[in-house]
Every structure is written in C-alpha cells, then in structure tokens.
Amino acid sequence: MRAKRIKGIKFGLLSSKEIRKMSASRIITPDTYGEDGFPIERGLVNQHIGVIDPGLRCKTCGGRMGECPGHFGHIDLEAPVIHIGYAKLIYRILAATCRKCSRVVLGEEDRKRFLEEIKRQKERQADVGEVVKQVFREAAKSSVCMYCSEPQNPIKYDKPTTYIEIDEDGKERRLMPTDVRERLERIPDEDVLLFGMDPGNARPEWMVLTVLPVPPVTARPSITLESGQRSEDDLTHKLVDIIRINQRFMENRDAGAPQLIIEDLWELLQYHVNTYFDNEIPGVPPARHRSGRPLKTISQRLKGKDGRFRGSLSGKRVNFSARTVISPDPNIDIDEVGVPEEIAKELTITVNVTERNLDVMRGTIKRGKKHPGVNYVRRVDGRKIKVTESNYEALAEELDIGWKVERHIQDGDIVLFNRQPSLHRLSIMAHYVRVMPGRTFRLNPAVCPPYNADYDGDEMNLHVLQTEEARAEAKILMEVQRNIISPRFGRPIIGGIHDYITGLFLLTSGEKRFEKEKVLDILHKIDIEDLGEYGGTFESPVRSEVSGMGFEEVRLSPYWTGKQIFSMILPKQLNLQFRGKMCARCIERGEECKKEQCPREAYVVIKEGNLLCGVIDERAIGSFKGIIIDKIFRQYREEVAKVFINNVSRLAINYIKRTGFSFGISDEDIPREGKEQIREEAVHEAEKKVDELIRAYEGGELEALPGRTLEETLELLIMQELAHARDDSGIIAERYLSIENPGVLMAKSGARGSMLNLTQMAACVGQQSVRGERIKRGYQGRTLPHFKPGDRSADAHGFVRSSFKDGLSPTEYFFHAIGGREALVDTAVRTSQSGYFQRRLINALQDLEVKYDGTVRETKGIVVQFKYGDDSVDPSKGEYGKVVDIDEVIREAIGAESRG
Amino acid sequence: MKKGRFSILEHELVPKHEIPEGREVAELLDKYKLQKEQLPKIKKSDPVIKEIKAKVGDVVRITRRSRTAGKSLSYRLVIE
C-alpha cells in the first residue's frame, strides 16, 4: 500500500449504508472457534475480518498476521436501538421537532436568524454550541406546530435510553426506538442544520442503530492461556451477548410471542448495546465478567489516564533508556554520570563499520559478553544477528565494511540525563558516561540543584542518543557546563552544596597551616602542576640517624595556608572582591565596613588568582549564589568553570574527609547558666509582659491600634511579644554556641540549616500558629481541657517554651502538631496548584519563538513582542539583566578591582 | 469629551496610544516583513481606541514604560 497524505479529518456519524459498505462480513453466529480449532465462518472471529493466528491468511485482503490491518464486520440488528452516546441529543431533537411533520418548531423569522448565526460561527471556525443550545430552548417552548398546526406534547427523557410522550390527558406513551427513528427520518435537511449538524455527514436518524459495526479481531485479540484454553477479549464477550439476544429477539418475534416478551427482549438488546459502548453509565448495572469483574468496553478503552488517548497516543515510551536510583560521587566530573556496568551492557549505540573502525569493531565483538562489547550486528543485507557466546568469534571474523554494529555504551559517550518533574530545561542535561561497578547512577552533588535531586531514593532516567546530529546538538546545547548559569535568574544554578561549603569554609577560615605532605595529600586528586610560593616556614623536630646514634634536629619546613591551597584551584588572572555570607551588614547599620580587617572574615579579596583574605562560604561557591563561579564563567567560559567546580568538589570533600566533621545531639547542649538565662531573661520576661497586656486589656486600659479591634490589638501585641521571646532566647543561645559548634558553622557558612533551626533545637521552639494567629480552635473558650475557659496566657494558646532538645510537654506537643499540620497541608496544596499553573503557562507559551529580527512571534507569524523582553537580553547571557555591565568594564579597563 | 468626564489617556496606568503617520506604519511593516494582520490586535471597542478615535484598519502606536528597557514601543492593529 502506498503512503498517503492526510488532507483533512472529518467527524460525522456512520449511516447504516456506510456500515454495511465497510463491512467485510455479516456476523450471525455468536461462536468464535469451532471444534477443529479454526475460526467459524460468519462468527465473531471469522477470517474475513482480520487474522490473529500465525500462519493463517486474511480472506479479505490476503495478508498474513501483522500485514492485514483487520476489517470491520457488521451485525444486522433485528430491532433498532438508541446509540447511548447520542441519547441526550436525541431527546433534545425530539423535544424540538414536531411530532407529526418533524419540522423544527420555530417561526420562519427565528429559523432564518439562527441559521445565519450558525453559518457565521462556522465561517469563523468558532463553536456553534451556544447557538444550538438556544435553538433547542426556543423550539421546545412552542405547544403547537406552526407548519402543520399539530399540537405538541411534552417529551420525557428517562435515563439512559427511554423516551416518553405525555399526551393532553397526561397519559404516558413510550416511544420505541422505531418511533424515534421514524421521527428523526422525517426531519428535512434544512432543519438539521439548525442542530449544528451537517446533514450530508450526520443525519439524526443515524443516531438510532439498525446495524452495528463489529470491530476487526485485531482490535480485540483473544489470548491463549497456558492450559491451551482461549480467552476472548471483553469486547468479543459483549458482542456475543448482543448476537445472542438479537437472535432470541428474532426467534420470538417470528414465533409470534406476546408483545410483553418482545418488549422485554428489546430492552435487553438495548442494555447490551449500551454497555457495549459504555459500561459505566450512571444508573445502569455494569455488565460483568464471570469472575464479577466489570467488562472493559469501548468507552473504558478510550477514557482516562491509561486510556487510548492519554495512555497510548500522548504517552510515549522510548527505547535506549534506563532508570535507576541515584547516589553521590564527588570524584566524578560534574558533566559525567556513573552508569552501572549492567546497564551499560544493555544500552547500545549503532556504529556503521567503515575502513577506519573495522579493526576496532572487530576487537569489540571479540570481547563477547564482556563490557565494552556488542549486542547485535546487522549485515549489509539488513539481517540482524544477535551476538552470543557461541558465535561472536565467527562474527568478528565475518565483520565487514557496511555492517552495522550495536555496541555497548562506554566511557565518554554522550547521553541525556533527566529527573522528573521536568519543570525547566535544566531538568534534562547531557552527561558523559562513566561505566562503574554497582547498581546506581552516580552524580556529582554539585549538579543536584538544577535537577532538584537528593539521594534519599530519587530515581533518574538516562537516554542514549542514537544519531550523530542528536549527539552534536546535545553537546552544543545541553552539556552540564553550558547550563551552569540558569536562564531563570542569570546566576549559577550549579555549585557547592552542604559539605562542599563546609569543607572550603573550614579550609579557608583563619590561618590554618599545612606542611608539604599534608598539602599534597589534600590536593592529590586535583591536577595542579605547581604548589607555588609557600606561606612561610615553621620549626619542626626531625629525628635523624647518624651512624647509629639517634638525635633530634630542628629543621625549618615550609607550610601553606588553607587560603593558599584554595587559591591553587583558582584561575591565575582572577580578580574579585565581595562580601560573603558572614557579613554582618555593618554599612546598613551606619557603621563603617572594616573590609580586609573584618573580624568575621566576611570580606573576600581575590587578586591574581590568590585568596588574600576572607573565608569561602555559600555566597562564594554555593549553588544559586556562587559569586566566584559566576565570575569565572563570565571571564573564562564554561570549560574553566566546569574544571573549577570539579576541583571545588574534590578539594572540599578531600579536606573535610581528613579533618572529619560531625553534628550530634550533644552539639545542641547549652550550659546550665545559659538555660537559666533563657528561661529568666527571655521566656519569663515575655510571659510577664503578656500577663501585663492581658491585665491591661481586662482592665480596659489597652488602646486599640488604628483599624483594629481591641481584641485584635491584644492578640497582635501578644504575638509580637512572644516572637520576641524566641528571638531573644536565640540570641542568648548563640552566645553559648560559638562558630566552633558544627551546627552554627553550617548555618553561618550556608551549608545547611539556619540559626532559627538551631534556636528551636537548643533554646525555645516558640509560638505555634494557624493562619498567622495564635492557636484558638478547640473547645468553647479554650484550646484544651488543661486550661481554664477564657485563659489568654501564652501557654494556653500554643507557645512552646521548651526546646526540641529538652522535649515538649504534652500540651506543647499537641500545639506543635497543629501548627505542623498546617505547614504540611500548605506545601501539598502549593505544589499541586503551582504545578498546574506552570503547566498552563507553558502550554500557552510553548509555540512562541524569538525570530532573527528580534521579534517574538507565534506559529502564524503574528507578533507578540516587537523586541524580546523589550531589551532583547537573554538573562543567562547578559550581565545581571543588562547587555553589558558597563561599570565592570570600566573598572577592568582602569585596573581597579572588580565589584566592591 | 463630555463635560465632567476625564480622558482615560491622562490616567497614569494607561500607556500612550497614538495614531502614527502612514509612512511610519509602512516602514514598520517593511522592517519586520509583516502583513498588517500579523500585528497584535486591539478591538475598536477598547476604551482607549474610542478615546483617540482610531478606525478599524488603523495601526496604533503604544509607548510604554518598561522595567527592562526604560521605554518600549509596540504597535496594534485596530479590529472590529
């Protein structure tokens, strides 16, 4: 068959004539397979309507299994039945048309108006639904036909498929499908237009079925069970039911059975046809399998998440992909991904064998089942041969130019790596393969932020690129190092997290001294040629052995400082000055910045690639901030930035591994006097003030704040006072927890956690709130039976004075659970809502494109913006939202230090 | 303008709408290789269009303050 181009798609109804025309076989027997195991002629699985058995040929097109697409058959229904999908529309049409002449009961003028309106809407390719709705509403109103003067009777619709006419005396008469069909047949073509239907393409009477199309067997294949028994598809089962009842109906009618029995059978036939289309009709018991499982009929196949549309057509599945759990490896590059050998042996790249790679490929095949091997070869004639234990040597010999070889992926191959939800383009980036032992994908923790990944069981997907074009495109656009700067906010999204920050913070704070062996030990994984000038010398005793006499000698040995070690991974020409995370914002408080003399080492100066002062923290190398990474990326581009981040990983991890770093429950300890102080100075003080406020309120001395009631004022002041209490206790706790404390160190350097977290653990958890207010819900006048009604004190409304370390009292624990639940609900609601908003936004924007003339246009070329973002700046390419950072250019030109 | 009503053009949130000369429109269409229909649209029932008395088929020039570029120009075709 020749490939054809689709010119258009037309939706309409099938007429009985059409159904018969496209039918390859009239089905009359409900049986499927005969005694001999072959399909029965004129049966539901007959050989005219498709083949599912290997070796048989289709009697309509002659195709074998897989070649023949299947052909429709048909069942002649002995009595017409309503098509359940159109039951409601049929009701509307019945109500809108004359019972005698079947004209739409509308005045000539209205008719014309509506017809024109429909025509106009169609020309505009707009929805005619609203107009049609009006037609039905207007036409159903009239009680007498203006064409044949026949009085109109109201029609009652009894779900799912029964129509009842109520005559003048209120007597009810059921309209059988034959009556319905007759009425619909009489509607003239000109009137059909009023329903928004195209009479050539969808006549109303076609909604009442006289012939039922039978889908090809290929659409409802039977499966053979292990026992050799055949199990038919649900649709086939349903069709069997229909044919049986159809036959019984015919027999009974021909035998002249009483009207009552005929009607019952008719009803039954209607039921089976209904459930054949849709087995989830409200008010209709679903047709069930023998086991009691409801049958999956046509509607169920199409509907819903796993239906044909969302599940099969929109839902794509791909080959050459793998998925497993991710785990960290700071020793691999940021643009690498560790791939388990097991996976590497399953994923392949097709290589064309040429003169130049013939020997290499031959060698690869010769490796057999070992890793960088080959799974399949394809000969010049197109035959695909699996490489097995027994044939690999022969195949290697036979291999020739023009063959295709499906080789395992190996180190250096480019692949795409992805973590769902893929919310931004950085959720899929190109990595280079590094085959490793183990069963997880390995990922450098510095690349976690763009994927939003962690290692608590996250799984990620890997896709192997199959064409040279795809590999080139991925390399140019999707490499990790090309995406260090986020297009969202124009700053690095890849950078140090957690231990990377802690490690470098420890290394670069103060004046730590390391002798040569130590330095080499820390740096051994990093490619550095020269240790450079040492920072100084210190005296070290050395034991010498001279002719058997041991004596001690004092030698001067050189040392390097931590800052010098860090400088070794900086590019040589880098100049930079900035304030780190430790900065206490002296300037904002009106004091002078001490710059190089900053007692907190917050002022970082890098000159000619040397860290002269300041400590490296989150603002220097962290993801989302990373001023040094940002600067290196802009000055030296992606390769240097990548190497820098790689080196940061290795240096930081190596150092922290050697010094050791831990945080335990005892690190939250505060000495006794500190606890006392917190209780006395912060908590008691605040509680006293709260009591005073309450007394003032009760004594009528409290003055309301503008725009608030007295009560609101009281609550507000109490909240303020109690928030103060927590902050104060935090400040006191800080006095007892120095930077030596690993918790404080992590919070201050930005590695993990905040001072608030530490305060809550060590000093005081503070006020719990629901919707920004103190906890008020519970019983009448009180939160819990532990308190007196009307108690307004701090602890009766959710103030937790304990710390997490000390433990919470039962009432505190309960209040904390209340507040915690709100936080939980909030995040759950927020993620789902923002996810949906994002989806809608992306759907709306996905076809917009920035053209070469700088305009933003949609698919038809209609301009959306005359200049992209009004200034044509890509935030990831420009300098902080501008095309160039002119101040920086000038500073560089006159040799001043960059960025104060 | 009726007495007692103010012009919406004077409101600070309404950007400047003008009807440019035919030459400017021709240049614009030529510069971006545009058909008139490819311009963004604005309904003639839009209050600002009534105010400046533009007709269907006219192109209006809109001058906005922009956070990124300071000032930005945009054009719209008046439609039914």
| Torsion-angle region of A869 (φ positive above 0: left; ψ -120 to 50: alpha; else: beta) | left
Of the candidates B37, B68, B73, the beta carbon closest to that of A866 is on: B73
Please report which confidence band the pLDDT of residue A729 belongs to, taking 50, 70 and 90 as the band edges. Answer: confident
Distance from CA of B5 to the nearest CA of A (A): 33
**Is A553 in the same domain as A477?**
no
Q: Is the CB of residue A836 less than 8 Å away from at least one CB of chain B?
A: no
User: CA-to-CA distance for A652 and A632, rounded, in angstroms?
Assistant: 18
Q: Quick check: is A284 in a domain?
A: no
| Torsion-angle region of B57 (φ positive above 0: left; ψ -120 to 50: alpha; else: beta) | left
A175 bridge partner residues: A163
> Is B40 close to A860, i.e. CB distance below 8 A?
no
Amino acid making up residue A874: D
Distance from CA of A851 to the nearest CA of B (A): 10
> Is A855 close to B32, i.e. CB distance below 8 A?
yes
* SS3 state at A77: strand
What pLDDT, on the 0 to 100 scale, is given for residue A546? Answer: 64
CA neighbor of A83 nearest in space, from A199, A180, A188 = A180
What pLDDT, on the 0 to 100 scale, is given for residue A452? Answer: 94
Q: Is the CB of residue A852 less than 8 Å away from at least one CB of chain B?
A: no
A268 bridge partner residues: none
| Torsion-angle region of A827 (φ positive above 0: left; ψ -120 to 50: alpha; else: beta) | alpha
User: CA-to-CA distance for A734 and A674, rounded, in angstroms?
Assistant: 10
User: CA-to-CA distance for A678 and A669, rounded, in angstroms?
Assistant: 13
What pLDDT, on the 0 to 100 scale, is given for residue A470? Answer: 96
**Is A805 in the same domain as A733?**
yes
Contacts of A366 (CB under 8 A, 6+ apart): A392, A393, A396
A741: its two tokens: 């404390």
Q: Quick check: is A31 in a domain?
A: no
> Is A863 close to B73, i.e. CB distance below 8 A?
no
**Is A810 in the same domain as A671?**
yes
Q: Quick check: is A843 in a domain?
A: no
**Is A683 in the same domain as A779?**
yes
Least confident of A597-611, A662-676, A822-836, A869-883: A869-883
- Beta A155-158 vs A162-166: how paired, if at all? antiparallel
CA neighbor of A492 nearest in space, from A751, A872, A873, A876 = A876
Whether the ω angle into residue A450 lies within 30 degrees of 0, i.e. cis, is no
Q: Quick check: is A141 in a domain?
A: yes
Whether the ω angle into residue A177 lies within 30 degrees of 0, i.e. cis, is no
> Is A853 close to B32, i.e. CB distance below 8 A?
yes
Of the candidates A857, A860, A866, the beta carbon closest to that of B74 is on: A866
Express each pLDDT in A783-820 by its tens digit. Answer: 999 998 888 888 888 889 888 999 999 999 999 999 99
Could you tell me where the DSSP H helices lie in A151-258? 177-186, 189-192, 234-254
Neighbours of A514 (CB within 10 A): 22
Contacts of A467 (CB under 8 A, 6+ apart): none
| Torsion-angle region of A514 (φ positive above 0: left; ψ -120 to 50: alpha; else: beta) | beta
Q: Let me know how long chain B is.
A: 80
Whether A781 and A789 have beta carbons less than 8 Å apart is answered as yes
User: CA-to-CA distance for A670 and A764, rounded, in angstroms?
Assistant: 12
Highest mean pLDDT among A548-557, A583-592, B12-21: B12-21
Could you tell me where the DSSP H helices lie in A586-626? 618-621
**Is A408 in the same domain as A477?**
yes
Distance from CA of A21 to the nearest CA of B (A): 46
Q: Quick check: is A338 in a domain?
A: yes
Please report which confidence band the pLDDT of residue A152 belongs to, taking 50, 70 and 90 as the band edges. Answer: confident
Q: What angle do CA A842, A848, A850 make, to 5 degrees?
A: 130
Contacts of A400 (CB under 8 A, 6+ apart): A353, A358, A380
B59 bridge partner residues: B77
Express each pLDDT in B19-64 by its tens digit. Answer: 998 899 999 999 999 988 899 999 999 999 988 888 899 999 999 9
Q: How many domains does chain A have?
A: 5
Distance from CA of B27 to the nearest CA of A (A): 14
Please report which confidence band the pLDDT of residue A126 belongs to, taking 50, 70 and 90 as the band edges. Answer: confident
> Is A866 close to B75, i.e. CB distance below 8 A?
yes
Of the candidates B33, B35, B66, the beta carbon closest to that of A870 is on: B66
User: CA-to-CA distance for A606 and A572, rounded, in angstroms?
Assistant: 10
**Is A864 in the same domain as A806?**
no
What pLDDT, on the 0 to 100 scale, is given for residue B2? Answer: 56
Contacts of A703 (CB under 8 A, 6+ apart): A713
**Is A361 in the same domain as A506?**
no
Contacts of A779 (CB under 8 A, 6+ apart): A785, A789
User: CA-to-CA distance for A165 and A664, rounded, in angstroms?
Assistant: 81
**Is A507 in the same domain as A478?**
no
Q: Where are the beta strands (DSSP E) in A750-862?
A: 766-767, 769-770, 773-774, 799-800, 849-850, 856-857
Residue A69 is given by DSSP the state -
What pLDDT, on the 0 to 100 scale, is given for residue A881? Answer: 63
* SS3 state at A531: coil
Residue ranges making up the domain that contains A450 = 321-483
Of A483, A508, A537, the residue that ends a domain is A483
User: CA-to-CA distance for A25 and A234, rounded, in angstroms?
Assistant: 21
The question of ipTM being above 0.85 is answered as: yes
> Is B68 close to A869, i.e. CB distance below 8 A?
yes
Express each pLDDT in A847-860 by its tens digit. Answer: 999 999 999 999 88
Does residue A425 have a pLDDT over 50?
yes
Does residue A200 have a pLDDT over 60?
yes
Q: Is the CB of residue A864 less than 8 Å away from at least one CB of chain B?
A: yes
Q: Quick check: is A368 in a domain?
A: yes
**Is A504 in the same domain as A642?**
yes
* SS3 state at B65: strand
Residues from chain A that touch B74, judged by Cβ atoms under 8 A, are 865-866
What pLDDT, on the 0 to 100 scale, is given for residue A551? Answer: 67
> Is A857 close to B33, i.e. CB distance below 8 A?
no
Express each pLDDT in A479-536 by its tens digit. Answer: 999 999 998 888 899 999 999 999 999 999 888 888 888 899 999 889 888 787 777 7
User: CA-to-CA distance for A609 and A814, rounded, in angstroms?
Assistant: 55
Q: Is the CB of residue A880 less than 8 Å away from at least one CB of chain B?
A: no
Of the candidates B34, B69, B72, the beta carbon closest to that of A863 is on: B34
**Is A350 in the same domain as A419?**
yes
Residues from chain B that touch A864, judged by Cβ atoms under 8 A, are 40
Does residue A674 have a pLDDT over 90?
no
- H/E element holding A800? strand A799-800
User: CA-to-CA distance for B8 and B51, rounded, in angstroms?
Assistant: 8
**Is A334 in the same domain as A389?**
yes
**Is A591 in the same domain as A652?**
yes
Please report which confidence band the pLDDT of residue A900 belongs to, taking 50, 70 and 90 as the band edges. Answer: very low
Whether A235 and A72 have beta carbons less than 8 Å apart is answered as no
Architecture of domain B8-79: Alpha-Beta Complex (3.90)
The phi and psi torsions of A104 (rounded to 5 degrees) equal: -70, 125
> Is A863 close to B32, i.e. CB distance below 8 A?
yes
Q: Quick check: is A221 in a domain?
A: no
Express each pLDDT in A364-385 by its tens digit. Answer: 998 877 889 999 999 999 888 9
Q: Quick check: is A542 in a domain?
A: yes
What pLDDT, on the 0 to 100 scale, is given for residue A895? Answer: 63
